[in-house]
Homo-oligomer: A and B are copies of this chain.
Amino acid sequence: MEFKACQIAALIGGTVDGDPEATVSNFAKIEDARPGDITFLANPKYTHHIYSTKASIVLVRNDFEATETVNATLLRVADPYAVLSVLLEHASQALNPLPTGVEQPSFVADGVTVPEDAYVGAFAYVAQGVRMGRGVKIYPQAYVGANVEIGEGTIVYPGAKIYHGCKIGARCIIHAGAVVGADGFGFAPLPDGSYHKIPQIGIVTIGDNVEIGANTTIDRATMGTTTIGAGTKLDNLIQAAHNSSIGSNTVIAAQTGIAGSTKIGDNCMIGGQVGFAGHITVGNRVEIGAQSGIPNNVADGSRLMGYPAVGAGDFARQAVHLKRLGDLFARVAKLEKRSL
């Protein structure tokens, strides 16, 4: 598919600054773009690339002022990143159209209704009592256990597994290999040193507009529910243990682990490989740096970093002090010598 600058401007409502006939067929980052690509400039840090980019069209803010010659045709819009996102969505749907219908062989238990605009891929398993909303897409080799509920428009990608009884909201995306509702890790120690499994009879409840990354695992509750709030986005390979709870519109990067019964608030931003201890409460609007270890409760609006975590500023100072620690030992030794 090829588009001209003037066509895109008509579609999205921007103004062309350059050749209205400039033609593009692909997207690229500003530093990688080649002729025929469209790109965007949103972060001022990347402004210098606009003078060397080979892109044919660059989306820029309405108030962008070039200080050198720009070869690309500019498309001036209010919010280049938002416009890019709209264009990408069109492209994405063209590249990877959502399928419809029931492929064979698949397994849909007796009594389960597949809405007309839904999809059940080959080798997908939909157990008894499953209820799925309009437009739900169950990709090949996915597993939907007994009595699971899936809200409308939710996509379950290939091989994702949802254990019995879990509730998934509308317009969610569950990526390949994610496991929702496996047993929580609960065992009672016996006098002989062995362990007795505590049955995990709770569920997992996932709100609307949640994205769950590839191979992420969210365990079912012992009793009650493990909860992921609406609008929350989980990256790949994350662990959310039984009875943990994550609020709304919180984003968590890959490989982070949340131990049992821990509650994380709304609108938090959590880095990758962070570990949360069990039975703690993390407030709203909390930001936590990558690889941090969080042993205790965290107040609303905190910014933490480190293992064990401290304030982000303190972490930076600690790192500096650690580098000078050898020097400090030498200084103290010198003082000791002098004071003899």
- Interface on A for B, CB 8 Å cutoff? 27-29, 32, 81-82, 84-85, 88-89, 91-92, 95-96, 103, 105, 107, 121-123, 125, 139-141, 143, 145-146, 157-159, 161, 163-165, 173, 175-177, 179, 182-183, 185, 187-188, 193-201, 209, 211, 213-215, 217, 219, 222-224, 231, 233, 235-237, 239, 241, 243, 249, 251, 253-255, 257, 259, 266-267, 272-273, 275, 277, 290-291, 293, 307-308, 310, 314, 317-319, 321-326, 328-329, 331-332, 335-336, 338-339
Assembly CA distance A310 to B126 (angstroms): 49
Q: What's the number of copies of this chain in the assembled complex?
A: 3
Q: Is the CB of A199 within 8 A of B85?
A: yes
Q: Is the CB of A254 within 8 A of B231?
A: no
Assembly CA distance A159 to B209 (angstroms): 26
Known: A125-B158, A141-B125, A328-B332. A236 touches B254 (CB 8 A): no
Q: Is the CB of B179 within 8 A of A215?
A: yes
Q: Is the CB of B107 within 8 A of A194?
A: no
Assembly CA distance A123 to B126 (angstroms): 12
Give the residue among A81, A200, A273 with the most B Cβ atoms within 10 A: A273
Q: Is the CB of B321 within 8 A of A325?
A: yes
Assembly CA distance A266 to B253 (angstroms): 26
Identify which of B185, B201, B231 contacts A235 (C-beta below 8 A): B185
Q: Is the CB of B123 within 8 A of A125?
A: yes
Give the residue among A85, A222, A308, A310 with the most B Cβ atoms within 10 A: A308
Distance in Å from the Cβ of A28 to the closest Cβ of chain B?
Answer: 5
Identify which of B140, B179, B214, B338 contacts A175 (C-beta below 8 A): B179
Identify which of B236, B277, B335 contacts A217 (C-beta below 8 A): B236
Q: Can you name 14 A-B residue pairings with CB atoms under 8 Å?
A: A29-B224, A29-B243, A88-B198, A95-B164, A96-B146, A159-B161, A177-B215, A194-B209, A237-B257, A253-B259, A257-B273, A308-B319, A328-B332, A331-B332
Assembly CA distance A32 to B222 (angstroms): 13
